[in-house]
Amino acid sequence: MKKRMLLVMPMPPPMHGSNVVNQYVASIELGDLVNSRILPIRYAREISDIGSFRFSKAVQFLVIWVKLLINLVMFRPHYVYFVPAVIGISYLRDFALAILFKAFGTEIIYHLHGKGIREQACNRLYRHAYKLFFNRTNIIHLSPLLFKDLDGLTEGCRIYSLANGIEYEDFSKSRTDDSSTPNILYLSNFVSSKGMLDFMNACGLLVKAGFRFNLFLAGMPSRDISVSFIQDRIKELGLQGFIKHLGPAYGDEKKALLRKADIFVLPTCKDCFPLVLLEALSYGIAIVTTDEGAIAEIIENGKTGLIAQKRDPQDLADKIAHLINSPELRISLGRNGRSKFLNHYTLDKFRQEFRRIIAEIVQNKN
């Protein structure tokens, strides 16, 4: 008789990296391994709502808690696959759900998409909470580079590594016009933790140095960085004549930006395994990013991209300038990046590896 698994995970909206991966997980066929049921959870509908407290979120938590209780009683899962928040108030919320799972004796499979646990565990109360949270569970994390975030907190755990994977289109990199002016793309939500302000400051330095380029700023504005704020910075930095796109880009518009981009820049200061870097790799774009989270696994400096120092606009400008001046290097980095993507980060590979991990967990239990 097959075991039963309840999959509990946030789903879009809002649309961001981990929610996209959760959608991919929901599409994976597990019927030959377990009898599965999906319980989607949602606390925020917009990026700006993430991490904020609202009374409606408290009400939604109670609704989700009741739904979980009903599923635990009626479906009686042997396993709960759970995608939790790992820091802050959101972690305490999900800690309460994990305690409910443990009270019913279900085996928990955590799929982690965040970091910051080791820093927060410096607080004694949080450290005890993490030890209880993780004790004798299965943990799927994005990369071995992130395992150190769990040091001293995972007694009796089995830890697995599962890199993200995405869909891609069959695309051969080529310029759509004969212009020698390179197209530089930033594609992420407009938040300071993604390094957007550092990027704009770097572009200002490039303009002062006499470089010419087309600049595409694609993303959703936030409470952190609004469109009006960006427009003011564009004027202050003298970038008015360089901007070719400003604002969100989805679907075909997003694909068109990726196809025409020569340089992709993500100087993030807070990330684990950005899906947008995988997208850039899949389109064969030369990448400039930072050594943050597990990015060093994705981007090999000098081979599949260039690594700049975090919060250092001058170093970032130097790296971008190097690519502007070196079309051959851009082509080489893009070609190597696409090859690495096809070998490691496709959605098919993600699905295969996810199924392998679930099968291993189920077989170990049996």
Distance between CA 128 and CA 86 in Å, rounded? 14
Q: Check residue 104 and report its DSSP letter.
A: T
Query: Can you give the pLDDT at residue 308?
Result: 98
Residue 68 has pLDDT above 50, yes or no: yes
CB-based contact 84:101 (threshold 8 Å): no
Distances (CA, A) of 313 to 86, 310, 324: 30, 8, 16
pLDDT in tens, 267-326: 999 999 999 999 999 999 999 999 999 999 999 999 999 999 999 999 999 999 999 999
Per-residue confidence band for 177, with pLDDT thresholds at 50, 70 and 90: very low
Residues 108-129: what's their mean pLDDT?
97
Residues 156-177: what's their mean pLDDT?
84
Q: What is the mean pLDDT of the chain?
A: 93
Query: Can you give the pLDDT at residue 55?
Result: 73
Per-residue confidence band for 365, with pLDDT thresholds at 50, 70 and 90: low
User: Who has greater pLDDT, 163 or 11?
Assistant: 163
User: DSSP letter string over 7-63?
Assistant: EEEE-SSS--HHHHHHHHHHTS--TTT-EEEEEEE-S-SSGGGTT---HHHHHHHHH
Distance between CA 338 and CA 232 in Å, rounded? 36
Per-residue confidence band for 176, with pLDDT thresholds at 50, 70 and 90: very low
Query: Can you give the pLDDT at residue 288?
Result: 98
Residue 231 has pLDDT above 80, yes or no: yes
Query: Can you give the pLDDT at residue 51?
Result: 57
pTM of the full structure? 0.92
Per-residue confidence band for 173, with pLDDT thresholds at 50, 70 and 90: low
Residue 118 has pLDDT above 60, yes or no: yes
Question: Any residues with CB less than 8 A from the CB of 325 and at least 6 apart, and which?
Answer: none
User: Who has greater pLDDT, 227 or 57?
Assistant: 227
Residue 28 has pLDDT above 90, yes or no: yes
Query: Can you give the pLDDT at residue 215?
Result: 98
Domains of the chain listed by start with CATH number? 4-165+346-365 (3.40.50.2000), 183-344 (3.40.50.2000)
Distance between CA 168 and CA 90 in Å, rounded? 32
Per-residue confidence band for 233, with pLDDT thresholds at 50, 70 and 90: very high
Residue 39 has pLDDT above 50, yes or no: yes
Query: Can you give the pLDDT at residue 44?
Result: 67
Distances (CA, A) of 277 to 44, 164, 267: 24, 11, 11
Phi, psi (degrees; rounded to nearest 5) at 132: -70, -40
Residue 73 has pLDDT above 80, yes or no: yes
